[in-house]
């Protein structure tokens, strides 16, 4: 089922006093892929900035912007209309031998490394070794890993923070979408399966009503390699459908942060993020 979604993502920064010399990067413009076409995208910043657009190493659309005038608030609004048409994925078919071959391992080497952000802790690693020994194929191992995380890691906002590692989330057996994506990515990579982090938006209703705006939030899931990139959302225990909009991909959350930057001036007082999603057709 194809659908067209309009997303308005608003981020508002507030400061205790004037902030100046604010230099930022925004990854808030969706990518066009065979499964989604960006019909329209606009990024607005207030106060008015200087901007420059480019593609990063991973192919994500980045808007660099500078605000040099003194300001006590800054608002960044990304408005996107995206046509999504995701076909059901075929059954996984890669073999362990294929993934171990140089054609895959060398091509996707950056999606096989295990930095602290995604590295599984020792107790999870030992369980992954058993899982690998019992799985006839990488696809079977991935399915078992996703089920394990779905059973044992509770979705609990506030249990972690933006800089938490996969090991910290696992120790609590709790976290949010970013954490379960990191855990799954680290688990897959430790098995020799290339995996990458995906950020974007999700329409929260299973049956979106045309023309009805609903509140949403930024969302994270992952893609793993099996003769092509396959998507999976550990938080909801499902393969993404047409309600998902991909904004950016990278090795982990640090590569795809929605807005990052530096500034000089007064201390930041608040950060508010809101997302409104409307099915257009």
Which percentage of the chain shows pLDDT scores above 70? 100
In a domain, 91, yes or no: no
For residues 236-245, average pLDDT: 97
Same domain? For 109 and 17 the reply is: no
pLDDT of 91-131, one tens digit each? Answer: 999 999 999 999 999 999 999 999 999 999 999 999 999 99
Same domain? For 7 and 71 the reply is: yes
What does the pLDDT read at residue 270? Answer: 86
**Minimal CA–CA distance to 4: which of 41, 43, 39?**
39
Q: How far apart are CA 67 and CA 79, in angstroms?
A: 20
pLDDT of 138-181, one tens digit each? Answer: 999 999 999 999 999 999 999 999 999 999 999 999 999 999 99
Same domain? For 154 and 263 the reply is: no
Same domain? For 202 and 272 the reply is: no
What does the pLDDT read at residue 176? Answer: 97
Same domain? For 111 and 234 the reply is: yes
Same domain? For 74 and 173 the reply is: no
Same domain? For 208 and 122 the reply is: yes
What does the pLDDT read at residue 20? Answer: 87
Instruction: Output DSSP code: residue 92.
Output: P
* SS3 category, 29: strand
What does the pLDDT read at residue 268? Answer: 76
What does the pLDDT read at residue 210? Answer: 97
Same domain? For 170 and 266 the reply is: no
Using pLDDT thresholds of 50, 70 and 90, give the confidence band for residue 217: confident
Q: How far is CA 59 from CA 74, 100, 196, 237, 240, in A?
A: 27, 25, 13, 27, 21
Same domain? For 45 and 12 the reply is: yes
Place of tokens 């640090």: 254
- Which CATH number fits the domain that encloses residue 271? 2.60.40.2250
Tally of domains in the chain: 2
Same domain? For 51 and 182 the reply is: no
Give me the domain span that covers residue 74: 3-86+257-279
Same domain? For 274 and 245 the reply is: no
- Which CATH number fits the domain that encloses residue 132? 3.10.620.30
Same domain? For 133 and 247 the reply is: yes
Is the per-residue pLDDT at 204 higher than 90?
A: yes
């Amino acid at each position: 089922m194809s659908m067209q979604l309009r997303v308005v993502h608003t981020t508002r920064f507030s400061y205790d006093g004037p902030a100046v010399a604010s230099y930022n990067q925004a990854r808030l413009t969706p990518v066009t892929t065979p499964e989604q076409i960006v019909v329209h995208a606009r990024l607005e910043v207030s106060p008015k900035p200087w901007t420059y657009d480019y593609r990063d190493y991973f192919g994500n659309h980045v808007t660099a912007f500078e605000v040099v005038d003194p300001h006590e608030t800054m608002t960044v609004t990304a408005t996107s209309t995206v046509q999504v048409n995701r076909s059901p994925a075929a059954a996984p078919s890669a073999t362990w031998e294929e993934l171990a071959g140089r054609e895959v391992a060398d091509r996707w080497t950056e999606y096989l490394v295990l930095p602290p952000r995604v590295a599984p802790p020792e107790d999870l690693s030992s369980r992954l070794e058993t899982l690998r020994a019992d799985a006839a194929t990488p696809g079977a191992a991935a399915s078992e890993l996703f089920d394990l995380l779905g059973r044992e890691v509770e979705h609990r906002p506030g249990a972690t923070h933006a800089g938490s590692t996969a090991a910290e989330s696992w120790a609590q057996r709790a976290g949010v979408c970013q954490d379960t994506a990191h855990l799954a990515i680290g688990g897959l990579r430790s098995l020799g399966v290339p995996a990458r982090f995906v950020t974007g938006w999700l329409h929260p209703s299973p049956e979106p009503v045309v023309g009805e705006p609903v509140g949403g939030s930024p969302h994270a899931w992952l893609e793993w390699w099996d003769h092509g990139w396959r998507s999976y959302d550990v938080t909801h225990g499902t393969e993404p459908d047409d309600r998902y909009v991909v904004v950016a991909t990278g090795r982990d959350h640090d590569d795809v942060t929605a807005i990052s930057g530096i500034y000089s001036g007064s201390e930041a007082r608040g950060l508010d993020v809101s997302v409104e999603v409307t099915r257009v057709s």
